[in-house]
Structure 1
């Protein structure tokens, strides 16, 4: 008995010593500090359960700037949107590339090229986003996506049945996954079971993506079941050997040429492609789901969007009846999609309510950072500086009644509204679902275009009704990683017009 008590006492003493050694003390000039109750984890458990609630409570306690220990890292949150640029613009001491490269290496297997002679491969391949997936370069991709969306949508429905019943999240996911994959990576030239193969790939992707918070947290592969196997399979779906058998987009074709010139191995090339694949699915699909969900729940909003879509079809002499009779597809150009201001506002509103990205920089040395007010705060080498736009997006001073979906919130006199205020001053940044600065998603124009096309096609082809009144909760486990998926699916019914 005495031996047991001595052993317990020794453990307690060692824990106390460990806590004293690892507990950080706030220094002059540093923000308020909360190390949290748990060694290493700090406040991670409370944060993961309700990120917005956690940040809101600390804002009330500490103000716009505070530091917490979050999963082994001391992270300083800057919450005043007027100070966003001030807080992270010091690129000399605040690093994004090295940090993001390490993350990408972990979750996708991408080689770490930043700061090496091969970094030009990353830079040149990233430059293709503005060339091929923005502006006029997006026109051709839009046309291909329109065809793929309609093919996937009709394949996912039984058009001989007057009313179909289904689950909305599954419906959206299946259509968006198939259409996005084919648009970027093309149709297989010979494979006869393409539909079944893509359905299997989608199922494996969903299972892999479900474990993404654990993967990015560096949980060992052996603790995550078949996740490592799924990781290998998904990379094989975008490997050079696979893409040689597909009619890939110009965007992917040119990237493969860059990877070849950079002497990347097949596995390294597949890793870059896997990252592109994940980025095109993981945030776009939830955003498409929430946009459609809220439109179905709000008849006024749906009618406003329908009016825009019908006007675009009328201007080009198109109708669903013409499509049915002529075995054709609906064609809507990128410019027509841009002109749909109600639809654009509805998508922005859905993104405002479901995006939970965290913009992170890592300090490469001890530094003093400035805020918009002129005040400063100090951070230490290795600390992280984080912006959490979700706090801004739900700020009632900026967005009246932020818990309510208002499809026209981003509309003003028939045009996009860009005037939002905080403490009487116009905000330069008020909606940040795609990041900020050097970490802003390069594929954001392609993503928004996909969502617009998806909703347009749904409106053209189907009548839909939700069969459940309660809005499904959001999956908070993905907070900090982008748009939040629903925690559970919801039933709906639909029929071809």
Structure 2
């Protein structure tokens, strides 16, 4: 209790210092969105922190589809109408670059020059023809992790392990090595150490993002220091195992004469983004083990695809290839992943409003003026839990999205689930990696939760793109016998 009181005092003092002692308030003008009442010092921060979804849905019901809230010393306009997604994404005054600068500066202490240009420059390594090529490379590394797992466990017998440990040994290892390459001799630069330190760092991510000083979170500061134990950018560029994305990013940043430390900061940003794939895939495994019907249906869909391709390809070496498009066409798997996103997403879609902007709410046609300098936000977790869109929104239904259309205010939603935000250049490859991980795990292993094991979503740390679990769970797995191997083709 004492530490919480001290934290509150420090936050208040910090905010008073930032604003030179002026308490924040605003006189709303007639053409501006309504303002949600809040505390005279920290505004709506405590209401949001206590239960962000309940707070946003409650404000929407009372004030309408657009309203303003205050977080400490800045105002934020919340666009709660899900039909506004396209208008929000395309509004030229709503700029993401200042938000990216805030995150990079407050958390990692560096700035990307011409971030929009860099996004386009490196985006070519995560889109188009690069997708199947990268997915194939990812699948080969994942297969290596399975071989190690098979060597370390008893074949055909049940092996007990924590879910986080199993996912770390397979998926996080693959993500880490696909980005950075594998240095088997390094004791400070390997997937296990980075997984450990990232878990600590992510707990405090949102507090650092809003600008609270690092010294308030010594555990996070120590973790970040350990995460800087990386090879130099020059060493990454010389390695044949470094990802295309990382090499393109390093090339771009070096052209602007950024220091090695600043480039290492960007490497951490990229790894932080990739951790979301690890989190959502781990939640998918948990939901599959928690719902036997889901496990049975998804596995049957996978096996049907393998058998169909086996008959068509008639491979002599018993290797069946599966394309990215075929993975995306697995509708039960897709529904499971979308439902898992719906339940676990914590992403903020935030922009900086560059100038006074008249924004029209799609559902009502009403226009409001949003002030220059304000933040503008869509909050997908509230949309995902809206009972007017989803029946029994707190209940996990693996087949919820199979052949379904969802409505709000009598109009069909174009994008009922918003994974990874609206401008993520690697969205498709991240979804494919998630799905291939599920496909390969279910094809190779039987997976079960141990009796009495369960976890929930930990909402005590707001701002995570994928909400972490309250606790790890113990599971058991065993290898499934099959004479057929599956592999991702490099073709589209």
- Alignment TM-score, normalising by the size of structure 1: 0.83
Matched, 1:366 2:356: yes
Q: Out of 458-467 and 245-254, give the one that drifted further.
A: 245-254
Aligned to 2:10: none
Gaps of 5+ in 1: 1-14, 114-118
Aligned to 1:220: 213
Q: Distance in 2 between matches of 1:194 and 1:219?
A: 32
Q: Distance in 1 between matches of 2:142 and 2:425?
A: 22
Kept in 1: contact 2:351–2:377 (CA 8 A): yes
Alpha-carbon distance change, 424 to 128 in structure 1, aligned in 2, over 3 angstroms: same
Deviation digits for residues 398-428 of structure 1, max 9, x if unmatched? 222222222222222xxxx5x3222221222
Matched, 1:474 2:464: no
Aligned to 1:101: 101
Q: Distance in 1 between matches of 2:209 and 2:23?
A: 27
| Partner secondary structure for residue 142 of structure 1 | helix
- For 1:321-340, list aligned pairs within 5 A: 332-340=322-330
Aligned to 2:178: 183
Which entry has the higher C-alpha Rg, 1 or 2?
1
Report the CA distance between 1:89 and its aligned residue: 3.7
Aligned to 2:266: 272
Deviation digits for residues 300-330 of structure 1, max 9, x if unmatched? 2212211222233334449xxx99xx9x998
- For 1:13-412, list aligned pairs within 5 A: 22-39=24-41, 41-87=42-88, 89-92=90-93, 94-113=94-113, 119=114, 123-129=117-123, 131-156=124-149, 158-160=152-154, 162-188=157-183, 191-192=184-185, 197-237=190-230, 239-243=232-236, 244-245=238-239, 247-281=241-275, 283-317=276-310, 332-372=322-362, 373-412=364-403
Q: Distance in 2 between matches of 1:253 and 1:208?
A: 25
Report the CA distance between 1:234 and its aligned residue: 1.8
Aligned to 1:423: 409
Q: Distance in 2 between matches of 1:246 and 1:194?
A: 20
Q: Distance in 1 between matches of 2:212 and 2:240?
A: 34
Gaps of 5+ in 2: 1-15, 481-492
- Alignment TM-score, normalising by the size of structure 2: 0.84
Q: Distance in 1 between matches of 2:116 and 2:396?
A: 39
Q: Distance in 1 between matches of 2:320 and 2:278?
A: 21
Q: Distance in 1 between matches of 2:163 and 2:307?
A: 29
Q: Distance in 1 between matches of 2:295 and 2:375?
A: 42
| Partner secondary structure for residue 442 of structure 2 | helix
Q: Out of 340-349 and 261-270, give the one that drifted further.
A: 261-270
| Partner secondary structure for residue 129 of structure 2 | helix
Aligned to 1:10: none
Count of paired positions: 455
Aligned to 1:6: none
Moved over 6 A (4+): none
| Partner secondary structure for residue 176 of structure 2 | helix
Q: Distance in 2 between matches of 1:247 and 1:72?
A: 45
Alpha-carbon distance change, 107 to 238 in structure 1, aligned in 2, over 3 angstroms: farther
Report the CA distance between 1:246 and its aligned residue: 5.8
